[in-house]
Structure 1
């Protein structure tokens, strides 16, 4: 998108727009770039605030009020049933957005359309008095918001030149992390009135997505050429051959390994404070908040700085490797200093490393898309699977490690170090990105 955001894609002599015209019309410059950066930060901030606030606070409390005796099992059923559907929502929505032809462009109809479904669905949960009802509305909300998330993430590939994607990725990563922390805090304050809590998050995501589309107008795609739709070709397109596109495959496995290592420890932080550090339940509940704030502060700093430096130097892989080294150092600290001070140092150093990673990760992903990003929505959606699957596998892996090593939480730190380092070497194998 140029500074004239209402430009129609210029047509070639056949009357249809070509790819080069599309890329030129979408690219943002000057003031429009700053507005889009701020908008991306805000939307991902609100999206993650919603996810973390609802999943960590509102849903657990709501389910516990309905059936206190079976709250853990019921929460697991609600979350697992949604995961089975949402894991493929982003790739499918991304692929369909690639084909979208409208006055408002390819991504905008999906960003605002499904948000206007997901927002009310979030509020609809508050009306439910059964676990089954909660599961249905949460499924509707989760699928809708994932269908929005895919096209929204693709904006980085669509609208920023490759040399500007580091800072764009940094803003997205900063929004993700800050939103997750703030969402839990806000949900905690609103938990006294569940209906109000659901309403605030539902309205916030719908309003932000509508504002995003209006402020960052895409050019029309009505004249853009599109291949005839065939079911077989559509589903076959979701297989990206690692042999044909090795860099895409390395990027996928690198992201998978990174999130598997990171989530394996972060998910069990509360239990680590209680059973490894030796804090009381009350003290651990307090100090996990302090750890989250420390991680957030260092992550925001390193994320924005490294995104700027990556663009300035036009280097991606060295930053990913540096992030894995920093994260490994952070994970080593509690092994030699199993104290609260050690956990504070762990949080600070881990945040620095993870901030670098989240800043560069999306920028790198956009530069390894097959075919130069012709199907960016679909391919970016596929890469999100490498984020979602570890969130499901890491608790299983961590539980197995604890069982095998007699509930020794040091095994979680050692496994995380291995996966984090493995991630960096997957990325270093990529040849098409410096």
Structure 2
């Protein structure tokens, strides 16, 4: 098999027969149910492990270190924000390295498994951390490991999928990401009083899912050594020229803004509920779980239908823009929530919007990738638009919450209003893209 200028051999694993590709040739053979099932479970498992801390677990851990509500949100914001550097380094760098890896186990597989193990070990450090400083170190390493795993993992979508499966499989990936969030919040309700199990069980789920996918994946083996990895190659790992590849640049900024807006709220979902409704953390975690369950159930339906519609019609931009505008509306409406029922209704609207967005946006991105030979690197650069705002949002959110706040009342109005505006801007950024309709 030849990909680019490098000879490769793809071992037959998990019953899948790999397809031979020439330089730059896109896959044309549809992937079977075994591959898609393994892909979906891996996505679910990784996000159970990684987004559990973002959604709930880190807030519960902060509650063991501080009693003041504003101090707790400050700890969460500071700890989660340190992952920004690790996310920037991990996404692009490990995507680039996986393009060049000569392991007999394939290009992507070693990073997928190794990164998941590092992430799991780092989450255990967080569970035992006696102070915010060690929590920050643990989260930095967890993000580094997670992105070393995730960047090569997401590159396999471009490696393995034909264009006619882009939206349907992207919908599945988006759905399982959010089912993973649901799973993470469920684990939080089970282990809210046990910090070790709260982080350990999701971490183990993440490792198992990624190992199973690595076994199924028909990963090419690089047999001719690529050019020496020098400083210039390292710098190129973090850059795709947005002027030369304008559509890719616009898609990058749209994703950045939308993820930033989303995580500005979701990082503080539990403190929002407990503060707004006057609940204890454990009761709040139960409400958050049911809210995420509603969000996810609606997301599954809207994501599946949007993926089917997009692949059938070829429309990518219109569904993405509509979904993003609806998500901005839902974020704004959160500020007016005064009881649990209203919270659940807004979660349903947010789930409907995000299901459409996640199912179609990745299909759009796969169509505007600059170079088929550098899928790992280019998708690594794109994944920075996911990872950076996930780490920056808690810090920015913490600043907004502290602005004009009191010890018992963080400024959620400023947080949610800002998130809605950022999300709306992300909807307009997608409109000038020309390669897709």
Q: Tell me if TM exceeds 0.5.
A: yes
Change (3 A) 1:293 1:93: same
Distance in structure 1 (CA, Å) of the matches to 2:3 and 2:412:
61
The 1-side partners of 2:331 and 2:130 are apart by 43
Deviates more, 1:289-298 or 1:50-59: 50-59
In the alignment, the residues of structure 1 paired with residue 143 and residue 323 of structure 2 have an alpha-carbon distance, to the nearest angstrom, of: 31
**Relative to structure 1, is the Cα distance of residues 357 and 178 closer, same or farther in structure 2, using a 3 angstrom cutoff?**
same
For residue 278 of structure 2, what is the aligned residue in structure 1?
280
- Tell which deviates more after alignment, 281-290 or 136-145: 281-290
What is the total number of aligned residue pairs between the two structures? Answer: 419
Report Cα offsets for 1:306-356 as digits up to 9, x if no partner.
112211222211210221243244346557776554433322122111111
- Residue in 1 aligned with 2:106? 105
Q: C-alpha separation between the residues in 2 aligned to 1:323 and 1:207? A: 33
Q: Structure 2: where are the runs of 5+ without partners?
A: 10-19
Q: CA deviation at 1:107?
A: 1.0
Does the 8 Å CA contact 1:52/1:184 hold for their aligned counterparts?
no
1:428 maps to: 431
In structure 2, distance between residues paired with 1:422 and 1:60: 29
1:352 aligns with 2:355: no
TM (normalized to structure 2)? 0.82
CA displacement, residues 58-106 of structure 1 (integer Å, 9 cap, x when unaligned): 5555566578798766655543444333332111100111111233322
CA change 1:138–1:353 in 2 (3 A) is closer
Displacement after TM superposition at 1:123 (Å): 4.0
Where does 1:33-432 land on structure 2 (aligned, <5 Å)? 33-56=32-55, 58-59=57-58, 78-123=79-124, 134-223=135-224, 226-270=226-270, 273=273, 279-282=277-280, 286-331=286-331, 333=333, 340-371=340-371, 373-395=372-394, 399-400=399-400, 403=403, 412-432=415-435
Secondary structure, aligned partner of 1:424: helix
Q: Secondary structure at the match of 1:250?
A: helix
**Given the superposition, is the C-alpha separation of residues 366 and 122 from structure 1 closer, same or farther in structure 2, using an over 3 Å criterion?**
same
Determine the C-alpha separation between the residues in 2 that align with 1:422 and 1:93. Answer: 30
- The Cα offsets for residues 287-322 of structure 1, whole Å up to 9 and x where unpaired, read as 443322221111121112211221122221121022
Aligned counterparts of 2:388 and 2:77: Cα–Cα separation in 1: 16
When Rg is computed on C-alpha atoms for both structures, the one with the higher figure is 1
Measured on the aligned residues, the alpha-carbon RMSD in Å equals: 3.6
Match of 1:3 in 2: none
SS of match in other structure, 1:182: helix
The answer for unaligned runs of 5 or more in structure 1 is 1-8
1:54·1:187 contact (CA, 8 Å) conserved in 2? no
Of 37-46 and 406-415, the range deviating more from structure 2: 406-415
